[in-house]
A and B are shown apart, each in its own frame.
Chain A
Amino acid sequence: MASLIVAENLAKTYKMGEVEVNALKGVDFTIEEGSLVSFVGPSGSGKTTLLNLIGCLDKPTGGRLLVEGTDVSGLGRKEGARFRGQNIGFIFQDFNLIPVLTAFENVEYPLIMVQSRPVSERQERVTGLLAAVGMADQKDKFPDQLSGGQKQRVAIARALVTNPKLVMADEPTANLDHDAAYGIINLMENMKDELKTTFIFSTHDTRIIGEVEIVYTLEDGRLTGQQISGGKVHG
């Protein structure tokens, strides 16, 4: 399989006034297409920073990062937004659904505002994805009428609706109970197999780590370990 993400000596330093904080201190890894990868580690280990870099939400201060063959460290505001809109889906810890839109409209949103797809294509794709995440019968409900697990399923459908190669999820199960968390991880795994999408997520939820095929451990801004059950990672 082809490499989707290549990180070479990736570093990120934040300046907080006079103080410099090294959030990532030279990280190397490669992730192939169609993987389910998790970054684990304690708070402050650099998980979220790394996910932000891979998701093109932030720029590295050192090293090189290739996402789908593109060096994303040089992307400007607009180019970054275009790249994300075409290639990356996002799932957030707090679900981040738009409260004034129904489940259907939330999933449809990126196809309207980001990719400007025609109505027929939107209908087909959104309906299919809502069915795939088990939310077809809840499509007309607004976020405040859904449970946490249901919201996250809608968020997964939204992340997948643009057919991205990569889906980033920052602590996707942090606000869910045990059953819902398992359900979400299983759903991501199924979607990965069905759509050949790469899922990368951060977590410190030990309940679900065993379910993931590749687990990277981050400590103090460095990769300190990796657990490979599917053999898809070359670190």
Chain B
Amino acid sequence: MANLFKIAMRNLFRYKRRTLLTMALIVAGMVFVLVFVAVTGSFKNMMIGHITESFLGHIQIHKRGYLASIDNLPLHLNLLPKEVEMVEQVLSITEGVEAYSERIKFGGGFSNFQQTTNIRVNGVDPDREFKTCPLLISRIVKGKRDASSLENGKILVPELLAKGLGIKVDDTVVVVATNRDGSVNGKTFVVGGILESATGPGGRDGYMHIEDARELLRITTKEVSEFVIRVRDFSRVESVHTQLKSRLSEKLSKRGKPIFEVHNWEKLSPFSNISNMIDIMTFFVKLMLISVVLISIMNVMIMAVYERIREIGTISAIGTLPGKVLSLFVAEGFLLGIMGTISGTVLGMVIVFILNLSKITFSFGRQTGLILSPAIGIWEVVTISLFVIGMAVVASLQPAWKASRMEPIDALRHV
């Protein structure tokens, strides 16, 4: 086998310029794909992390039908105390749940005593909410970045609303909301902080303490609108989601229908579409790389076979079996693929490293100054590399097969 590769390697460097050019094509393709995957992957992960950790959570649980009407924030679809207990019980036995937060969501009027506008509010337990969405605290651009900004009687006001109404921290405001029975109630709050907007649904909501929300809405029981769940390991979101879905689907109403609906972040955020688009783009970029590898190696190998027909005739005449002739040419394709892949991977990783050192910043929605940190998993690199090497072998198969099928007498006559 070593001799086979030694001969193959010497044959490759018989035409140095052509081999190096083909290798350069593979290297360029590898570099492009690795850098693209690293950059888009970093962008995607950063955005997913930002969205899920600042307001969305990884998984949400609602009463069945709530999500379809979420724009109306329907209070009559809140989870009742008994249902809340059911969810809490399921969460306590589900592996991988790091934290969860209960929210009451509602829409109301917001006034600074001079002007009034609409507001969407989340009533939350600050400690639980900050554990579930740890980046929420970093969105407080004015005011104290701790649980005190959300203690009873305080409200976190979305930045755009605060700007529009000229509201500052410690100002007093009024929130008016319609209760489930149709009556209207109002309550004054002190502005505990101004909250930076985030891209996505719920990214421009205000926050208040859950007890204040219940008081405002005249809810006397422990009912909630949603459970927001943070999973310990992001790669296990789908597994936890499946577990929760399976356990909660067993809880049926008197009519025999499921009480709950469980959704992961992908179902809750339109960003998942962008994320999917990035995946599709990555797939097509990989496809382009495969085409480049296939065509360039096939071209080189076809030329190699054509130029060495007499040589093929000679080695066949002296008794080299067709399988060995085939393996000789496949080995050349394999070596070309492996050399291109290794060089491309090394160069790609160097470029990714340099990009990390360069601290390139970008904006996403209203968030600016996000630092691009391209990274690529070892398995992704291994998968791409193996695929390229595999394609190199596949590309050399046809010319190699042709060489192995040549009649020695015809090949020896070739001029």
Give A contacts to B, CB under 8 Å.
52, 55, 57-58, 77-78, 81-86, 88-90, 92, 94, 96, 98-101, 109-110, 112-114, 158-159, 162
Contacts and interface: CB of A to CB of B under 8 A. Distances in A.
Instruction: Give 5 closest A-B pairs by Cβ, nearest first.
Output: A85-B319, A100-B10, A96-B314, A114-B319, A84-B319
A200 B14 CA distance: 34
Contact of A112 (B3, B14, B313): B3
Contacts of A84: 317-319
Given A52-B409, A57-B408, A92-B412, A82 B311 contact: no
B315 A90 contact: no
A57 B409 contact: yes
A85 B314 CA distance: 12
Interface stretch (B51-59, B268-276, B320-328): B320-328
B388 to A, nearest CB: 25
Given A85-B320, A96-B314, A98-B315, A57 B7 contact: no
Given A57-B412, A100-B7, A101-B10, A162 B322 contact: no
A77 B10 CA distance: 28
| Max chain A Cβ within 10 angstroms of own Cβ: one of B4, B321, B408 | B408
Contacts of A77: 322
Given A57-B408, A112-B3, A98 B316 contact: no
A100 B318 contact: no
A82 B321 CA distance: 7
Contact of A81 (B311, B316, B412): B316
B98 to A, nearest CB: 60
A77 B317 CA distance: 11
Interface of B: 3-4, 7, 10-11, 14, 310-311, 313-322, 324, 408-409, 412
Nearest to B2: A112
Given A81-B322, A96-B311, A90 B10 contact: no
Contacts of A55: 317
Contact of B318 (A78, A94, A101, A158): A158
A110 B317 contact: no
Q: Is the interface of B mostly helix, strand, loop or mixed?
A: helix
Nearest to B320: A113
B14 A100 contact: yes
Contacts of A90: 314, 317-318
Contacts of A92: 314, 412
Nearest to A115: B319
Contacts of A109: 315, 318
| Max chain A Cβ within 10 angstroms of own Cβ: one of B316, B317, B320, B322 | B317
Contacts of B14: 99-100
Contact of B7 (A82, A85, A86, A101): A101
Nearest to A94: B310
A183 B32 CA distance: 60
Contact of A78 (B3, B313, B314, B322): B322
Nearest to A100: B10
29 contacts: A55-B317, A57-B408, A78-B321, A78-B322, A81-B319, A81-B320, A81-B321, A81-B322, A84-B318, A84-B319, A85-B318, A85-B319, A88-B319, A89-B318, A90-B317, A92-B412, A94-B310, A96-B311, A96-B313, A98-B7, A98-B311, A98-B314, A99-B14, A109-B318, A112-B3, A113-B3, A113-B4, A114-B318, A114-B319
Contacts of B316: 81
A113 B324 contact: yes
A39 B10 CA distance: 38
Nearest to A58: B409
Given A92-B412, A99-B14, A162 B314 contact: no
A88 B322 CA distance: 17
Contacts of B10: 100-101
B164 to A, nearest CB: 77
A90 B317 CA distance: 7
B406 to A, nearest CB: 10
A162 to B, nearest CB: 7
Contacts of A86: 319
Contacts of A88: 319
A82 B322 contact: no
Given A84-B318, A92-B412, A96-B313, 8 more contacts: A82-B321, A85-B318, A90-B318, A101-B7, A101-B10, A112-B3, A113-B315, A114-B321
B321 A57 contact: no
A78 B319 CA distance: 9
Nearest to A97: B314
A114 B319 CA distance: 6
